[in-house]
Structure 1
Amino acid sequence: MTLPDIDEAYLLGQLRMLLSIDSPTGYTDSVVRHVSRELERLGLTVELTRRGAIRAIHKGGVSEGARAVVAHVDTLGAQVKSIKENGRLELVPIGNWSSRFAEGARATIYAEIGNFRGTILPLKASGHTFNDEVDTLPVSWRTVELRIDQITSSKLETQALGIEIGDIVAIDPQPEFLDSGFIVSRHLDDKAGVAAMLAAIEAMERHGCGTEVDLHWLFTVAEEVGVGASSIVAPEVAALISVDNGTTAPGQNSSEFGVTVAMADQTGPFDYHLTKKLTSLCRDHGIAYQKDVFRYYRSDSAAAIVAGHDIRTALITFGVDASHGYERIHRDALVSVAQLIIAYATSPIEIKRDAQEMAGREDFTHQPVVPQGSSR
């Protein structure tokens, strides 16, 4: 089968729009509404969980043994930990990211009565005042503060603005889309994955692609805090593929080009048969790929397994340089990821018994073994 073309302009347009919508974990209603409207525009019926995780089903030949693809719409951010006597705000992070990357960030504080702009600064920000001490201040969330762009110099004045402990702080993404194909921004994890999924859906619906089983498109709202796909996976789903970022860094095999197929994360190996199928599909369709193992990483797939879902899981990624910081990706990887999603969605079902939650040993899968009696 020849894969349908990916509309790159649509993919990048969706990524721009997603990046323009603040969505730190716990403040995702607006981005959920955007993704839901777009899925409906593409012809799918959308269901939302109580907290806003999204499920849209592409109907296939049968419902049992369905496949699912998942990305997350939530991003890193911060919350107000305390209002300081100088009127500025102490913060705690939402998700796991270093205050090193928070320093200098422009941000929005979402209070109940409205929003306020500000900048995250180190406690010793001025070289004219602190001289070399600006370079020796420890890197810590306790050594940064949020300066609010309002007339306030005391705790009481900040409280009078309506800012309270626990208010969500969203970090500006500051995206740049370059002619070289590189995209530099915060929050590409995982808004780039969401854009790649939407581009795959758009191409499949535009070309009328059929699937042997139902395909569940899932978008979660709390992956950055470890919840992920713990409660959105339906009982009929047999296999789940997460779309997320791969880390291009020393000691890693990920790349900003092609697809990186994760073989394991900190929770252990991904499913042998599913990852093998994905790499085979890459070879069959000429999609550039590489494999990698992540030591300090977990995804929606891991959350689903930990929650008790007995499903096959895998993770496909677009390479990100400086993940959870000032991230950089290349649009080549996003197109490759979208192509692989379609290749998987439209490929034949090979493990028929997966349609049943429990079955006998007959037709159970095989992995390569050393024949008895042979020398190792």
Structure 2
Amino acid sequence: MNYPDVSKTISQIEKLVNIPGPSGYAYAAIEYCQNFLKENGVDSTVTHKGGLSVTIEGEDSSKHRFITAHVDTLGAMVKEILPSGRLKMTKIGSFSWNATEGEYCQIHSSNKIFTGTICLHETSGHVYRGNDDIKRDDNHMEVRIDEVTTTQEETEALGISVGDFITFAPRFEHTDSGFVKSRHLDDKVSAAIMLELIVHLQRSDVRLPHTTHFFFSNNEEIGYGGNSNIPEEVVEYIAVDMGALGDGQRSDEYTVSICAKDSSGPYHYYLRQHLVQLCQENDIDYKVDIYPYYGSDASAAISAGHDVKHGLFGAGIESSHAMERTHRRSIEATEALLFAYVKSPLI
């Protein structure tokens, strides 16, 4: 069996990024993952918080592994319906409004999905001189709805309410040069990799050395996606999540990024060394890096008090929390490391 097959994974990424699912509203993404796994003969369980759990028995059931990827994304909610009929927003997750200016969006009301555009209130350069100096913030950014409405009352009559979720168009593209660019690659890349791995393990004769739990979390962007439903037998916890790129970073779009430290502090030293050794032994291109403004499901689990060795690695994602991009080589390297890891003994 040809595994990993990066082309299949990229197809899976495209399907996932096109499923709207900001934190608090990732039900459709979880349902998709559950249905995909069921179609391939894999049982899964939805937790009370809405995450999806899959367990694959290993040779040793006394000590377990726990691996997460998150399907929730950035997004927004309707904060206020303005007198103009437009919408004021509140953010879900951490991002800059500059990264969404001019983006098409959807408003998910209780009875219909409406389309719109995220605009600076003072967008028109023919009317607002110096609008390039206006701060893009909660007070100036709004949603222009694609409906005939010019008042608060007309918008409310459409069925739009405070608290309705707003999702951003992903605009997925896979270029001939191998780049994958889209919103929400954080962390739909990792979720796709994990789906493909689980199905491969189901279909192949690979026997894992340790019972392994795969968890698709749904609240990572707001800090508590993978901090519960961790069995007592778990001794190693891996978050598969994006590598952060930028000035001062070693990570790139062509290798798997292994995190040594983020804003929560260092990751487990010996587990990190084990990941590096697996890359070296299997000729996997990698970079070790530090992400200064970052947290993961693994760090959330540590903060919640779980006694586990925690690690983090993933594909290098350029322009994180904006119009993101990675390369098929980085996806393939991440797949290879995850596969090597689940087959390796505990440290």
Cα deviation for residue 113 of structure 1 reads: 1.5
Which among 265, 289, 293 is matched to residue 290 of structure 2? Answer: 293
**What is the CA–CA distance in structure 1 between the aligned matches of 2:2 and 2:277, rounded to whole Å?**
18
**Count of matched residue pairs:** 347
**What is the CA–CA distance in structure 2 between the aligned matches of 1:75 and 1:299, rounded to whole Å?**
13
Cα deviation for residue 4 of structure 1 reads: 6.4
CA contact (8 A) 1:265 1:298 kept: yes
**What is the CA–CA distance in structure 1 between the aligned matches of 2:39 and 2:256, rounded to whole Å?**
28
Residue 113 of structure 1 is matched in structure 2 by 111
**What is the CA–CA distance in structure 1 between the aligned matches of 2:114 and 2:178, rounded to whole Å?**
34
* Structure 1 residue 278 corresponds to structure 2 residue 238: no
Cα deviation for residue 139 of structure 1 reads: 2.1
The structure with the largest alpha-carbon Rg is 1
5+ residue gaps, structure 2: none
* Structure 1 residue 319 corresponds to structure 2 residue 316: yes
5+ residue gaps, structure 1: 351-376
TM-score w.r.t. the length of structure 2 is 0.97
CA contact (8 A) 2:210 2:345 kept: no
**What is the CA–CA distance in structure 2 between the aligned matches of 1:257 and 1:27, rounded to whole Å?**
32
**What is the CA–CA distance in structure 1 between the aligned matches of 2:243 and 2:163, rounded to whole Å?**
31
Cα deviation for residue 228 of structure 1 reads: 1.7
CA contact (8 A) 1:44 1:57 kept: no
Residue 80 of structure 1 is matched in structure 2 by 78
Residue identity opposite 1:97 in structure 2:
F
Q: How does 1:235-274 map to 2 (within 5 A)?
A: 235-274=232-271
Residue 61 of structure 2 is matched in structure 1 by 63
**What is the CA–CA distance in structure 1 between the aligned matches of 2:117 and 2:167, rounded to whole Å?**
11
TM-score w.r.t. the length of structure 1 is 0.90
Residue 353 of structure 1 is matched in structure 2 by none
Residue 157 of structure 1 is matched in structure 2 by 154
Cα deviation for residue 212 of structure 1 reads: 1.5
1:129 partner SS: coil
1:273 partner SS: helix
2:326 partner SS: strand
**What is the CA–CA distance in structure 2 between the aligned matches of 1:81 and 1:67, rounded to whole Å?**
40
Q: How does 1:323-362 map to 2 (within 5 A)?
A: 323-350=320-347
1:196 partner SS: helix
Residue 7 of structure 1 is matched in structure 2 by 5
Question: Which contiguous aligned blocks of 4+ residues in structure 1 show a shift greater than 6 angstroms?
Answer: none
Residue 208 of structure 1 is matched in structure 2 by 205
**What is the CA–CA distance in structure 2 between the aligned matches of 1:33 and 1:349, rounded to whole Å?**
32
Residue identity opposite 1:226 in structure 2:
G
Which among 36, 39, 42 is matched to residue 38 of structure 1? Answer: 36
**What is the CA–CA distance in structure 2 between the aligned matches of 1:136 and 1:8, rounded to whole Å?**
43
Alpha carbon RMSD of aligned pairs, Å? Answer: 1.3
Q: How does 1:357-376 map to 2 (within 5 A)?
A: none
Matched-pair identity in %: 36
* Structure 1 residue 167 corresponds to structure 2 residue 164: yes
Residue 20 of structure 2 is matched in structure 1 by 22
Cα deviation for residue 95 of structure 1 reads: 0.1
CA contact (8 A) 2:42 2:202 kept: no
